[in-house]
Structure 1
Amino acid sequence: MFDRREILTLLGALTAGGPALAAAPGRTRSVGAVTPALGTAQPFDWAWLQAEAERLAGRPPRPPHQADPRTHAVDYDAANRIRFREDRSLFTDDGYAVRLFPLGRYAPTPVDLFLVERGRARPIEHSEDMFEVAPGEGPVPQVLPGISGFRVMNRGGVGDWLAFQGASYFRSAGPLDQYGLSARGVAIDTGIDGREEFPAFTAFWLERTDAGLTIYALLEGASLTGAYRFVCTNARQAVVQDVSAVLFLRRDVERLGIAPLTSMFWYDEGNPQARIDWRPEIHDSDGLLIYNRAGERLWRPLRNPDRPTVNLFADDRGASAYGLFQRDRSFDHYQDDGVFYEKRPSLWVEPKGDWGPGAVTLYEIPTRRETDDNVVAFWTPKAPALAGMRLTFDYRLRWLGGEPEAVSIARVVDRWTGVAGRPGTEPIPGAQRLVADFAGPILKGLGRGSGVTPAVSIDRGRILSVAAYPVVGQAARWRLIVDVAREPGTANLRATLEKGGSPLSETLIHQFG
């Protein structure tokens, strides 16, 4: 297991980028004046890539790549010394220039990379002089033949805002310029013991247009192949990727995951019993946000469970919008001045078109350290995914520093758990207390006599008491306190603030057990 903290630091964006290029979409822009050596041009377009993915799906999967054993010597420190030469960057320095990653211990698999201009693609030919080795202690690291991925640089070349590297993973630093959670091309049988697959992007085609940067990718795996198109723009408030995915199934897939998001949650104020580190909280994301087709706004705080856990949030009306969010933006709550958890981006998935019924799937596994990604969220179609199928999914990804949109209802802003019972008296045996704070302009001016009521239910156990009231000295903030008599197993509590039968807040889904 590699040190995830080091990898994210290696990818880290340190300064803010320039404004996004505002221009009409569609026109191809020229590559930079100096580029790596390029091979023979061949015709290329989106239709060709889909046909190529379909052709490969009809053949046996290619054997897994065998890493060059020399990559093991290129550890974190060595990889940090190998730098892609600035004068070889692809495209001009306007906030969309691309630099390449070398091979190393944490990224040993080479990918094919092509430049696209005016409907023709030219392969980038690797050469050692694309990279330079910075001075440092220890042996001079070897630049091995091959490219492991690429990153998109901020204007001025200081820091990057988007990176593709490893299997089908990609990530953005978002508007707060700090890497955190990741996205994947697809998830295969995630949460099914011993069966998860990790298909990989094996080739990329990069095209710079006035709309931004378009990235085409070929996905290959044992169970499927795929063609992907990412139209990427970097604006002040969000990094946006419009994604088109076309999948060709080689065999049946029991649990197909579309638009998967991967993050880390160790502990926060809601599960202090997991804390063994001096820092008050450690997580890249603190909750799963869902906007379903029935109009509900659901907030499910993340957990670090005792055992691997799968939760489904079904929507028979069509695909829900969803995302993993870092809502807590207070440095004081983390006290980490090295990796800045309060700046980690949130990632929001907006499905386009008709995906049919299905469920947002949340998979959480135990962890005792911050270097492990232990949370995955994705959309699982209700219809079976069978061999021979061609499936298409279009969606938008937004890497955010705040909420996906301004809403009138109140949000869950804090949550604590502890023993049940009146403070100062003996705790109620076998019972637990949940305390949650809701905040939002809709609560401003509402007092105890304003008709605000809590709607609370639990699917296992018994509710002993419920109270909701405005927090003294805090404008537009209400507190909910629920005592629950527990039963063995996992229990899900749902809570909403209402007035006159209409919701004032999003629905909190808290899981005990």
Structure 2
Amino acid sequence: MIPLLIASLSASLNLAATPAPAATAVSLSAESQPFSETWLRDRAQQMAQADYAPLTGKLPPALADLTYDQYRDIRFRPDASLWRSAKLPFQLQLFHLGLFFADPVSLHVVERGRARTMRYTTNLFNYGKTRFSEPLPDTLGFAGFRIHYPLNRKDYFDELMVFLGASYFRALGRDNLYGLSARGLAIDTAEPTGEIFPVFREFYVEKPAKGAKGAKHLVVHALLDSPPMTGAYRFDIIPGDNIEVRVTTTLFPRRSVQRLGVAPLTSMFLFGENGRRSFDDYRPEVHDSDGLLIWFGNGEQLWRPLQNSDRLEMSEFRAEGLKGFGLLQRDRKQSHYEDLEASYERRPSVWIEPREGFGKGSVFLVEIPSREEIHDNIVAFYTPEAKPAPGTPIRLAYRMYWGVKTGPRPFVASTVGTRTGSARQVGLAANQQKVDASARKFVVDFASPIPVTSADDVEAVVSASSGEAKNTRVESYPAIGGYRAVFDFVPNGSNPVELRCFLRRGDTALSETWSYRFTPQREGGK
């Protein structure tokens, strides 16, 4: 619900509202304190040596009881944006507390090695039709902030990135709309004991330089806290067609956890070309991402189409020397979504490129059942093999790329479509069918980065953890500049089956590896 609200707040920036007093630009405290990355790391380490102290989250009743629409009506006034009058290359706007956002975050500006606090005042916001019986206290604070930058036009400061709620953040490449989210850290996701959601308690934003030097680089520091561990984060934010976010962090465990989720991504997948049968919806597809791409240390690239099952699904992909992973939105055709408001074809993909601390471990994919698109039901993250040890810092660094074209440049054919259906041959009676009635036909499309003239001598290599693949063939597919692999799969029982397929000519691989979890009873088998 929080990611949907972020998108809704962004969309409402330019709505007409009740006139309000003249805006007051964001002001900073007169007092300042020394700041450095070393100071923030020391602070995180000191916190980890003490017991966790949860935030109270005690809002004035008037804010705690706001409805969704009432909270959405509270908007930051653009003319009050931090650094607007100074004509710096970046501007900051702030989020009001209320509704889901009960815990204030401490926001600071860093200049010449000293940090000053951003001060709350009601004049920074337009409250629309929302009214309060008593004045709000000046000590209220903020829920989060967003970064603006002239991304699509030189004369307009577009929303570029937002930090709001727990350790969630989102970013945009050129001509994108908000879609999937990232988090600072995920802990014990899908564990029976319940997931723990760390929070960013403090932010320190370095004032950007004026002119060319500061035009394409903003640095944000954050202090993370949770019952099991703390962390000091640095985000180097570089706008462009694909926004690059360089993340470095040092984590300080208070105690061990079952599953540490590094570089976690959270997305929404309701249905695609292969899963809309159970949805009565005019739209062909509804999703922010359509697959997980993993680039292993041995050079293999694996594509896992996302699914919306009727039960929780968790997949683990062992990875040593991981080169990258990400949740991508490969399908960019508007006609495949037919949603003129949501425009899912404009949602960004996110690619994670490890830089430090990614040794032996696994990439996890969690798929949560969902019946509505307001819920993020997809989670992907990396988990190191070694469990966190209390008192032992964990140093990590990775780069994130948000945009339309992210991930490694394809050097082999990429999966662009997955479809299944009955393997029954039309026109033949049941006793004449060549495969069992439980068999399913799989059609997998691969788009090639190089021109394809023929499918001669191209083989689809299909493997299954159980059951049998039959009637395998490969056809050229001129409309996508690639190939179509077709095979019938006969399951052996009702347990989930792991399927894999890739194309080759002789000893040369022509495609990435398509990976799919098939559950016979769920997808039509007996």
> Are 1:454 and 2:445 an aligned pair?
no
1:133 positional shift: 2.7
Please give the per-residue CA displacement for 1:230-277, whole angstroms capped at 9, x wherever unaligned: 010111x11111000110000111100100000011110011223232
Give the structure-2-normalised TM-score: 0.88
For the residue of structure 2 that corresponds to 1:342, the secondary structure is helix
Please give the per-residue CA displacement for 1:25-49, whole angstroms capped at 9, x wherever unaligned: xxxxxxxx95324241111010100
Could you tell me which residue of structure 2 aligns to residue 207 of structure 1?
206
CA distance in 2 between partners of 1:373 and 1:97 (Å): 29
Q: Once superposed, what is the RMSD of the aligned Cα atoms?
A: 2.2
1:154 positional shift: 3.2
CA distance in 2 between partners of 1:315 and 1:14 (Å): 43
CA distance in 1 between partners of 2:145 and 2:464 (Å): 47
Identity of aligned residues (%): 37
CA distance in 1 between partners of 2:147 and 2:3 (Å): 20
Please give the per-residue CA displacement for 1:345-400, whole angstroms capped at 9, x wherever unaligned: 11110000342110111111111110111110000001122222210100001102
Bigger Cα displacement from structure 2, 115-124 vs 187-196: 187-196
1:430 positional shift: 1.4
CA contact (8 A) 2:414 2:511 kept: yes
Match 1:468 to one of 464, 471, 474? 474
Could you tell me which residue of structure 2 aligns to residue 241 of structure 1?
245
Q: How does 1:366-377 map to 2 (within 5 A)?
A: 366-377=369-380
Please give the per-residue CA displacement for 1:53-104, whole angstroms capped at 9, x wherever unaligned: 0000000101233241332343333233322233332224555201101112
Could you tell me which residue of structure 1 aligns to residue 17 of structure 2?
none
Could you tell me which residue of structure 2 aligns to residue 126 of structure 1?
120
Relative distance call for 1:423 and 1:388 in structure 2 (3 A) is farther
2:26 alignment partner AA:
T
2:375 alignment partner AA:
D
Could you tell me which residue of structure 2 aligns to residue 50 of structure 1?
41
CA distance in 2 between partners of 1:167 and 1:499 (Å): 49
Bigger Cα displacement from structure 2, 153-162 vs 357-366: 153-162
Could you tell me which residue of structure 1 aligns to residue 95 of structure 2?
101
Could you tell me which residue of structure 2 aligns to residue 86 of structure 1?
78
1:165 positional shift: 0.3
For the residue of structure 2 that corresponds to 1:272, the secondary structure is coil
CA distance in 2 between partners of 1:274 and 1:334 (Å): 17
CA distance in 2 between partners of 1:369 and 1:99 (Å): 30
Unaligned stretches of 5+ in structure 1?
Answer: 16-32
Bigger Cα displacement from structure 2, 287-296 vs 169-178: 169-178
CA contact (8 A) 1:184 1:261 kept: yes
Could you tell me which residue of structure 2 aligns to residue 218 of structure 1?
223
Could you tell me which residue of structure 2 aligns to residue 72 of structure 1?
64
Relative distance call for 1:264 and 1:433 in structure 2 (3 A) is same
CA distance in 2 between partners of 1:170 and 1:506 (Å): 30
Match 2:269 to one of 265, 268, 272? 265
Q: How many residues align?
A: 488
Relative distance call for 1:278 and 1:94 in structure 2 (3 A) is farther
Structure with more relative contact order (C-alpha pairs < 8 Å, separation 6 or more): 1
For the residue of structure 1 that corresponds to 2:293, the secondary structure is strand
Give the structure-1-normalised TM-score: 0.90
CA contact (8 A) 2:295 2:322 kept: no
Could you tell me which residue of structure 2 aligns to residue 436 of structure 1?
444
Relative distance call for 1:121 and 1:4 in structure 2 (3 A) is closer
CA contact (8 A) 1:411 1:440 kept: yes
Could you tell me which residue of structure 1 aligns to residue 518 of structure 2?
512
CA distance in 1 between partners of 2:108 and 2:480 (Å): 55
CA contact (8 A) 1:443 1:504 kept: no
Could you tell me which residue of structure 1 aligns to residue 342 of structure 2?
339
Relative distance call for 1:292 and 1:448 in structure 2 (3 A) is closer
CA distance in 1 between partners of 2:38 and 2:480 (Å): 55
Could you tell me which residue of structure 1 aligns to residue 500 of structure 2?
494
Could you tell me which residue of structure 1 aligns to residue 108 of structure 2?
114
CA distance in 1 between partners of 2:26 and 2:372 (Å): 41
Q: How does 1:397-408 map to 2 (within 5 A)?
A: 397-408=400-411
Relative distance call for 1:389 and 1:12 in structure 2 (3 A) is farther
CA contact (8 A) 2:94 2:145 kept: yes
For the residue of structure 2 that corresponds to 1:53, the secondary structure is helix
CA distance in 1 between partners of 2:136 and 2:416 (Å): 48
1:188 alignment partner AA:
I
Match 1:348 to one of 343, 351, 354? 351
> Are 1:288 and 2:292 an aligned pair?
yes
Please give the per-residue CA displacement for 1:477-502, whole angstroms capped at 9, x wherever unaligned: 21111111113211111111111211
Could you tell me which residue of structure 1 aligns to residue 145 of structure 2?
150
CA contact (8 A) 1:13 1:177 kept: no
Match 1:319 to one of 316, 319, 322? 322
Match 1:416 to one of 419, 430, 434? 419
1:341 positional shift: 0.8
CA distance in 2 between partners of 1:355 and 1:376 (Å): 18
CA contact (8 A) 2:13 2:75 kept: no
> Are 1:364 and 2:367 an aligned pair?
yes
For the residue of structure 2 that corresponds to 1:274, the secondary structure is coil
For the residue of structure 1 that corresponds to 2:43, the secondary structure is helix
Relative distance call for 1:340 and 1:279 in structure 2 (3 A) is same
1:286 alignment partner AA:
D
